[in-house]
Structure 1
């Protein structure tokens, strides 16, 4: 497995581990992953940065990193790897690092002290990301390649299931494993297989939605629900056929569907946006386009949106307006952009992560978002303070499957397994 791919899976596993309490068997993954998450949030992509202790602590809070128990170890690990410098006052200096560089460094930190059990957990998801695979075949592959005895192998699978590192469905008398990356590659072929497994009525519904998303780039969850109905929509979300992106604050949330393959045209979609930063950037921009109002600095149309991105990529600042200080808090906390106060409630923004903005521009100009979006402005214009990525939203649905028999997706996975 290449370093970038391994780094992306480490980040994936770490986000899952942050949701559970017992993680002792995956400590090297969790440490390396949190180092990667912090490194990403500290660094700009093309210039050296220095952040004071208060900013570092705020970023740690946003990443769910314990400032007393975890942050000192993470900072020391990054310092030992010659990735950051720490002053006596606690300020941190860091050279420019792209997302690709973050993933590579994450992998290198992990491999300093990892064991076969944890390496096997990464391959477990990597091997099942292309298509669903039967339990017997996957267990044999992992056990043989990582020299795990039967007891240890069973323990790995059980813990991976409990944590959510890997997902499964029980059908044909056995478990079939899969994960949320199924539709990031070969999506046309896999979509055709899904349609072949559905009733003619459901297949038409999915085809109608697929055409709409391909044409318009994204649709609101309300539109998707009208077309599909709740049961069919939940099934498709369960197997990650569509990405469910959510922007929210303390007053409301807005969810819209995009295709995982939107990013596949411009590289490896799993690696290039492993941290979901490009998706968050696009989500915030679309929010500004469809929900914001003119008096606070509304993005008027797609031409203005792309011109804004190009201006940022030229190194120029954008603004000032009120919306910049409110709608891009997620991007500010993740150091994708930097805000500069203008006057009153108005702010400018400058770009810090050029690689992320370039992916966002490519997807908007050349990908499935190139046409006008169908996002409706059905909510009041207030600040976007949170972004929830597709995998977290998918897993919320999967956790409900034990109480919702209708969410069994075995018939969909069976067609893709062959």
Structure 2
């Protein structure tokens, strides 16, 4: 884990910017303006760059922005920032996207954030969230280091923890000096305290084994559970599994069930729980593909070139052949409507119905981490609202309300977005 914000990879910083901006959208605060600007500009860039044409009309930009919760008054300023980064060019009638790829979107977010010369409080808010995604921690565990790294006064440190709690940058339980901070997507409230105790109780030898398995999962993304259990030993495996340190998926076919292990943060680190079904689909596809890589025989259809197969499945939309594995290894995904298995003149055809699921599975298998792709999926959505205990006690009139969109606005937006010329 990085000890300071400067040591965090751009992709990690970018993903936290998107996560934090989603929380700021539902908070009554004008703090963390640079985080909001970088996150919002990146979300606008995302929806504009996904258009089929590189030139997007001003009217269409406005409707795309409105669809992700960006107000008309914000658009001009966000486009100016994107233009200064060399990502778009503005004309009288619209915006031209300059070679932006979704793959580098999180890097662009980090670059925009850095260009604003963010203060220590904003940098520390990202660092604190990242620390809480590795292990539940108390203020005393990181306060001195965060204060020294970002040159924050005692009052600023109070602001960091108080505002991070209220806005929802990081989850917490308990109160006072015993308050425990953690990433709610990884450690649940009823597990955070137990997780901290277990992680602190590991022996040096157990930690070394755990680090070794972590390095393998970082490189490969998805491993056979039996292999992980053997490397860790039954006792350590049981400790880590029960606190959710590992996640287990099962592939069942004519040869019976096979368990596979992934790390939760490889998919869910920055993502709200509302995408649980999508993440489960990605883990299921990654597990099925990994089965074909490590368990299938040549006669069943062993996957010899994972990169070529996955790229074909995503780029072309299907793979086909006479291998029995095509019909046997993806049945749960068929039932979840992620893939479709049919017959063709070339044998069995496996068609990918949800490309975004394929992208996450690809990143998980080939790079060991699909968190960036998972985080990008929240860019065009409104995050679920977060209310901590303090906010829940607030007067009803002080809360933000969900206001239904006017039907005329919905109709107008659809007319603009469906227009072909």
TM-score by length of 1: 0.51
For 1:165, what is the secondary structure of its paired residue? coil
Deviations 1:147-171 (A, max 9, x none): 1111121122111111111222126
Paired residues of 1:281 and 1:357 also in contact (CA < 8 A): no
Q: CA deviation at 1:13?
A: 0.7
CA distance in 2, matches of 1:387, 1:160: 20
* Residue of structure 2 equivalent to 1:104: 107
Quick one: distance in 1 between partners of 2:96 and 2:278? 25
- Tell me, in whole angstroms, the C-alpha distance in 2 between the residues paired with 1:361 and 1:107: 23
| 1:40 aligned partner | 46
Q: CA deviation at 1:19?
A: 0.4
Whole-Å separation in 1 of the counterparts to 2:14 and 2:379: 21
Report if aligned partners of 1:13, 1:165 keep a CA contact under 8 Å in 2.
yes
Q: Is residue 7–residue 105 contact of structure 1 (8 Å, CA) maintained in 2?
A: yes
Q: Determine which of 64, 68, 71 is the counterpart of 1:59.
A: 64
Partner of residue 93 from structure 1, selected from 91, 97, 105:
97
TM-score of the two chains, using structure 2 as the length reference: 0.50
2:9 corresponds to: 2
Q: Distance in 1 between matches of 2:273 and 2:56?
A: 21
Contact 1:51 1:91 survives alignment (8 Å): yes
Q: Does 1:151 align with 2:155?
A: yes
Unaligned runs of 5+ in 1: 197-202, 218-258, 287-308, 318-348, 368-385, 404-418
Q: 2:84 aligns with which of 80, 96, 106?
A: 80
**Number of the residue aligned with 1:30:** 36
**Offset of residue 104 of structure 1:** 0.9
In the alignment, the residues of structure 2 paired with residue 181 and residue 212 of structure 1 have an alpha-carbon distance, to the nearest angstrom, of 13
- The answer to whether structure 1 residue 50 and structure 2 residue 55 are counterparts is yes
Alignment match, 1:137? 141
Cα pair 1:315 1:350 within 8 Å, conserved: no
**For 1:275 and 1:112, how far apart are their aligned partners in 2?**
31
Quick check: 1:35–1:78 contact (8 Å CA) kept in 2? yes
Contact preservation (8 Å) 1:131, 1:182: no
**CA 1:397–1:78 in 2, change beyond 3 Å: closer, same or farther?**
closer
Instruction: Encode CA deviations 1:214-249: one digit per residue, 9 max, x unaligned.
Output: 3379xxxxxxxxxxxxxxxxxxxxxxxxxxxxxxxx
Which of the pair has more CA radius of gyration? 2
Give me the whole-angstrom Cα distance separating, in 2, the residues matched to 1:391 and 1:166. 18
| Cα 1:260–1:191 shift into 2, 3 Å | farther
Cα distance in 2, alignment partners of residues 84 and 275 from structure 1 = 33
Partner of 1:358: 359
Distance 1:263 1:134, change over 3 A: closer
**Does the CA-based 8 Å contact 1:117-1:156 persist in structure 2?**
yes
Distance change >3 Å, CA 81–CA 278, structure 1 → 2: farther
- The answer (yes or no) to whether the contact 1:79–1:85 under 8 Å persists in 2 is yes
| 1:269 Cα offset (Å) | 5.8
How many residues align? The count is 271
Instruction: Name the CA distance, whole Å, in 1 between partners of 2:32 and 2:24.
Output: 8
Identify if the C-alpha distance between structure 1 residues 212 and 81 changes in structure 2 by more than 3 Å, giving closer, same or farther: closer
Output the aligned Cα RMSD: 5.2
**Separation in structure 2 between the aligned mates of residue 29 and residue 212 of structure 1, nearest angstrom:** 31
